Amino acid sequence: MTRPDPTTSVLTGSAGTPVLEVDDLHVEFRTRSGVVNAVNGISYSLAEGQTLAILGESGSGKSVSAQAIMGILDSPPAVITGGGILFEGRDLLTQSPEEQRKVRGPGISMIFQDALSSLNPVYSVGYQIGEMFRAHRGTSKRDAKKHAVELMDRVRIPGAASRVDDFPHQFSGGMRQRVMIAMAIALDPRVLIADEPTTALDVTVQAQVMDLLKDLQRDTGMGLVLITHDLGVVNEVADDVAVMYAGRIVERGTVDDVFGNPAHPYTEGLMNSVPQVEAKGGRLQPIVGQPPNLAAIPSGCPFHPRCARRRLGADAAPGRECATDVPPLRLVVPGREAACHYSEEVLGV
């Protein structure tokens, strides 16, 4: 097993010591109708105070990899078949379930997309936030509630003291997501994984929630893994971005670099498929075809059936045939990795 060396990381944002390292992680779902390869060897590292965006469409494996890190995969059917997840240098996968549990909350914590279904409808928000203190620190019921009010204040829920006994359904969508955030940051985690935290929210509320996350990150210095398919959100808050396709990372680098000049045709396709102010009036170019079936990932480069730049047969350079040779994630230019045989062409260097 090779571990990414933090000092030689291509990610310019990861100058500090990494708190979270994911190393060649593989996850598959063993179902009755066959094996689904959801995550096929992804690696990244996250430093304190760094924000890494993981970008990809539905089914690209971004949420599954996050759940694997949290140790909350539904298994069966999900099985981690290889790799390592290092938190503060220790591999979580070799630890006992009880040790893993103790990391969830104070070490790594997570917020989910749909706060309404992710909060338990039958307990008050104060109870659910306070539970973090009671379960991990043995705090008394009364003190836990006091902490809950403080946290609700901190995530800017108006009238926290009077709303602590309210139930999730009595809050608006944005306020519910703040409750989720309050719960996740309760024990000052070193890493926060936010899985599509703003997808279910109005645009104006989205901005408020992202601002809140950034402010909290600045105060606590936690690392933030932001899982999203929203290019706008990535552009605003992330330092680095990793683009996922078919369970693999196909490109990564700083947000400015990747968005400014993609090195992978898939990233390029994503950029062309969203409206841009400068290109007003022009036509959007969707990526043709369907996302791959993870039970039958195409041979060679998994993106080749949809790729406008693919080279097949005699057109291809030796050992770089898109339908047969799997492109490794490689350093293309300093600070940028991409998994395409022809990244230099895509970049135009």
Calculated CA dihedral for residues 306, 240, 186, 214, nearest 10 degrees: -110
Binding other proteins (rule: CB under 8 A), the pick from 122, 203, 277, 314 is 122
| Residue 139 binds other proteins (CB under 8 A) | no
CB 172 → other proteins: shortest distance, Å? Answer: 16
Contact segment (CB under 8 A) with other proteins among 130-138, 238-246, 287-295, 308-316 equals 130-138
| Residue 335 binds other proteins (CB under 8 A) | no
229 neighbors 57 (Cβ within 8 angstroms): yes
Give the three-state DSSP class for 341.
coil
Q: What share of the chain is helix, strand, coil (3-state, %, to 5)?
A: 35, 25, 40
Which backbone phi and psi does 114 adopt, to 5 degrees? Answer: -100, 100
CB 145 → other proteins: shortest distance, Å? Answer: 16
Number of residues in contact with other proteins, rule: CB under 8 A?
30
- Where in 43-82 is the site for other proteins (CB under 8 A)? 70-72, 74
Q: Angle between the 125-137 and 173-185 helix axes, to the nearest 10 degrees?
A: 10
> Which CB atom, from 44 or from 112, has the smaller least distance to other proteins?
112
| Residue 104 binds other proteins (CB under 8 A) | yes
| Residue 121 binds other proteins (CB under 8 A) | yes
Binding other proteins (rule: CB under 8 A), the pick from 32, 169, 280, 283 is 169
Q: Which of 116, 242, 105 is nearest to 174 (CA)?
A: 116
> Which CB atom, from 80 or from 333, has the smaller least distance to other proteins?
80
SS (H, E, C) 128-196: HHHHHHHHHHCCCHHHHHHHHHHHHHHCCCCCHHHHCCCCHHHCCHHHHHHHHHHHHHCCCCCEEEEEC
Contact segment (CB under 8 A) with other proteins among 21-29, 128-136, 277-285, 302-310 equals 128-136
Q: Checking DSSP bridges between strand 34-47 and strand 330-333, what pairing results, if any? A: unpaired
Binding other proteins (rule: CB under 8 A), the pick from 3, 90, 102, 146 is 102
> Which CB atom, from 70 or from 301, has the smaller least distance to other proteins?
70
CA 313/CA 324 separation, integer angstroms: 9
> How big is the CA angle at 263 (ends 234 and 293), to the nearest 5 degrees?
75
CB 41 → other proteins: shortest distance, Å? Answer: 24
Contact segment (CB under 8 A) with other proteins among 98-106, 289-297, 316-324, 340-348 equals 98-106
CA 147/CA 130 separation, integer angstroms: 7
Give contact residues for other proteins (rule: CB under 8 A): 70-72, 74, 101-106, 109-110, 112, 114, 117-124, 131-132, 135-136, 167, 169, 180, 183
